[in-house]
């Protein structure tokens, strides 16, 4: 879900990419270098190219289908429960039988939105979730050319460049290497853009900040793969390319690759969903979503960034002083109250639990302050355990509304001392034209009738 979002030195052309894909320098059956593969790889490299330049957008006719085809012999899907099937007294009627897959209650209607976009996003319903783990089927999406549907038996990850042993890893190879699990969040770098650029009082937490999800990812440390291929002295960056029709490409500092980066193949205990990178993706804890390349098929170890169009024409942030931020990977501390929020309502003189989530790409959330008077005073909220670094953290605080109009706000602080800025502070530092990393304090209006609305500052 890469953020899930040209010129200058490039790594390969499409023709070279296809040549490398057709003739791998390693025979996946024996994991040994083959002469034909090395000749093909050398020929592609001699063309002065490494990763394919990405098309602006895949033709509409080639968009991904709305749902993947059902494989032959696959078990039947989840049962369909509807409200009409709910008996008046369930103690007097047998329920449905066992099934291959579980299904939600017909009374629960959580869903991503919008749907049907080949190039675009669908957002996680933050206001309908409990705890800190996002279910697999509700993880946000950001696609540049639809969902890539990849046969796991044909999946290959090539690592080459400044390495001693250029290698192609099959999915089976990855599964046979030592695995690790990390509970971390993922967030699109453009999360919050709509609320900043075109705010509306009728925005839900999903519409404001739904391009973030959190859960347990499992895979192989990229450092393990780098040791397998033998990274050479002088390698300072690696360049990753996705296996979808857009071939999204990003450059990442080698320090991150040798630290906590993963090639992830599972989420919340099951294989990745296609929309989130099946069969394998790059996972960079704490980094903006677009750098976490989905369907990753190629990594080139290099001595500099590739300067791809996905890090020049996009994901480079213009600032108010006429300069631009580039390679601003780390996501700063952020929080949002998810309840009460629009379209909810609060009742006077009744205890309400204010709750929400906070997260930081810098480390662990150590405090969330909540204000029920528009920022005039702040109270430290309770953090729900476990509090984990680089993961969503749930906060809560009891509140009894007195019936007068007011404003609710939350402010996150991480273990580096970084504090979530106010909207005015954010505008002053970044300007009205900034396009990424919208982490200013969100606020909710409560009117005299108790109706909640997203606060829109003129």
25 pLDDT exceeds 70?
no
| Two tokens, residue 231 | 């990274």
Tell me the pairing of strands 406-414 and 379-380: unpaired
Mean pLDDT, residues 411-428? 96
Instruction: Indicate the pTM of the whole model.
Output: 0.83
Give the pLDDT confidence of 320-367 residue by residue, as tens digits.
888 888 899 999 999 999 999 999 999 999 999 999 999 999 999 999
Rounded CA-CA distance 65/68 in Å is 6
Is residue 248 within 8 Å of 288, Cβ to Cβ? no
The count of C-alpha atoms lying within 13 angstroms of the C-alpha of 210, restricted to the half-sphere facing its C-beta, is 26
pLDDT, tens digit, 9 for 90 and up, residues 381-391: 999 999 999 99
Radius of gyration in angstroms for the set of CA atoms belonging to the chain, rounded to a whole number? 24
Report the pLDDT value the prediction gives residue 317, as an integer from 0 to 100. Answer: 84
Whether the pLDDT of residue 186 is over 70: the answer is yes
User: Which is more confidently placed, 333 or 44?
Assistant: 333
For residue 139, what pLDDT is reported?
A: 98
Lowest-confidence region among 283-287, 311-315, 366-370: 311-315
Q: How far is CA 234 from CA 228, 237, 268, 303, in A?
A: 17, 9, 37, 6
pLDDT at position 76, please? 65
How large is the average pLDDT for residues 202-225? 98
Q: CB count, 10 Å around CB of 387?
A: 16
Mean per-residue pLDDT for 151-164?
A: 98
What pLDDT, on a 0 to 100 scale, did the predictor assign at position 14?
A: 38
State the pLDDT confidence band at 422, using cuts at 50, 70 and 90. Answer: very high
Residue 70, pLDDT above cutoff 60: no
Beta bridge mates, 335: 358
What's the pLDDT at 85? Answer: 86
Give the pLDDT of residue 243.
97
Cβ 433 vs Cβ 420: under 8 Å: no
Please state, in angstroms and as integers, the Cα–Cα distance from residue 4 to each residue in 16, 187, 233, 287, 355, following that order. 26, 8, 32, 11, 26
Instruction: Report the pLDDT averaged over residues 1-12.
Output: 39
What are the structural domains, with CATH classification, of the chain?
14-53+149-315 (3.90.420.10), 334-454 (2.60.40.650)
Q: Are 34 and 27 in contact (CB under 8 A)?
A: yes
Over 60: is that where the pLDDT of 285 sits? yes
- What is d(CA 264, CA 175) in angstroms, rounded to the nearest whole number? 10
Confidence of residue 74 (pLDDT cuts 50, 70, 90): low
- The confidence score (pLDDT) of residue 72 equals 52
Q: What span, in angstroms and rounded, lies between the C-alpha atoms of 250 and 169? A: 20
Q: Which pLDDT belongs to residue 154? A: 98
Confidence grade of residue 319 (pLDDT, cut at 50, 70, 90): confident
Q: How far apart are CA 85 and CA 217, in angstroms?
A: 36
Interval 163-176 mean pLDDT = 98
With CA atoms as reference, report the closest residue to 219 among 184, 249, 187. 184
State which H helix or E strand residue 172 sits in: helix 171-176
**What confidence tier does 313 reach under pLDDT thresholds 50, 70, 90?**
confident
Provide the pLDDT for residue 432: 83
Q: What are the tokens at 422?
A: 């106010």
Mean pLDDT of 89-109: 91
Average pLDDT over residues 310-322: 84
CB neighbours of 206 closer than 8 A, spacing ≥ 6?
113, 123, 124, 125, 126, 127, 128
Beta-carbon contacts of 388 under 8 Å, excluding residues fewer than 6 positions away, are: 183, 184, 364
Distance, first Cα to last Cα, the chain: 33
Q: What percent of the chain has pLDDT over 90?
A: 74
């Amino acid at each position: 879900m890469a953020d899930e979002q040209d010129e200058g030195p490039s790594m390969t052309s499409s023709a070279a990419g296809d040549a490398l894909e057709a003739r791998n320098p390693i025979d996946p059956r024996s994991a040994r270098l083959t002469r034909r593969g090395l000749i093909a790889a050398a020929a592609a490299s001699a063309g002065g190219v490494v990763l394919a330049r990405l098309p602006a957008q895949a033709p509409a006719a080639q968009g991904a289908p709305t749902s993947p085809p059902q494989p032959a012999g696959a078990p039947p899907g989840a049962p369909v429960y509807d409200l009409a099937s709910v008996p008046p007294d369930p103690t007097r009627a047998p329920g449905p039988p066992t099934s291959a897959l579980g299904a939600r209650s017909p009374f629960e209607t959580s869903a991503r939105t919008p749907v049907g976009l080949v190039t675009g996003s669908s957002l996680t319903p933050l206001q309908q979730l409990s705890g800190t783990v996002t279910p697999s089927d509700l993880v946000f999406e950001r696609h540049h050319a639809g969902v890539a549907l990849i046969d796991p038996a044909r999946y290959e990850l090539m690592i080459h460049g400044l390495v001693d042993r250029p290698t192609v890893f099959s999915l089976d190879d990855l599964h046979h290497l030592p695995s690790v699990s990390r509970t971390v969040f993922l967030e699109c770098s453009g999360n919050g853009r709509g609320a900043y650029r075109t705010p509306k009082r009728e925005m839900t937490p999903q519409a404001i900040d739904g391009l973030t999800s959190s859960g347990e990812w499992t895979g192989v440390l990229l450092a393990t793969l780098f040791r397998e291929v033998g990274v050479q002295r002088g390698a300072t960056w690696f360049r990753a390319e996705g296996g979808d029709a857009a071939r999204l490409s990003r450059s990442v500092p080698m320090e991150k690759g040798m630290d906590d980066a993963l090639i992830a193949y599972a989420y919340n205990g099951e294989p990745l969903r296609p929309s989130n990178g099946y069969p394998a993706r790059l996972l960079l804890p704490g980094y903006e979503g677009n750098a976490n390349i989905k369907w990753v098929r190629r990594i080139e170890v290099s001595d500099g960034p590739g300067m791809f169009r996905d890090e020049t024409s996009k994901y480079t942030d213009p600032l108010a002083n006429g300069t631009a931020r580039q390679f601003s990977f780390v996501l700063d501390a952020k929080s949002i109250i998810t309840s009460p929020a629009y379209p909810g309502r609060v009742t006077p003189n009744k205890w309400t639990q204010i709750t929400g989530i906070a997260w930081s790409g810098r480390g662990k959330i150590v405090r969330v302050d909540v204000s029920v008077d528009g920022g005039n005073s702040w109270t430290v909220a309770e953090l729900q355990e476990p509090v984990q670094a680089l993961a969503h953290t749930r906060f809560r605080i009891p509140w009894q509304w007195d019936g007068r109009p007011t404003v609710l706000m939350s402010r996150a602080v991480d273990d580096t001392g970084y504090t979530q800025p106010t909207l005015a502070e954010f505008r002053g530092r970044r300007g009205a034209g900034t396009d990424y990393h919208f982490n200013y304090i969100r606020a909710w209006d409560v009117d005299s009738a108790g109706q909640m609305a997203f606060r829109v500052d003129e």
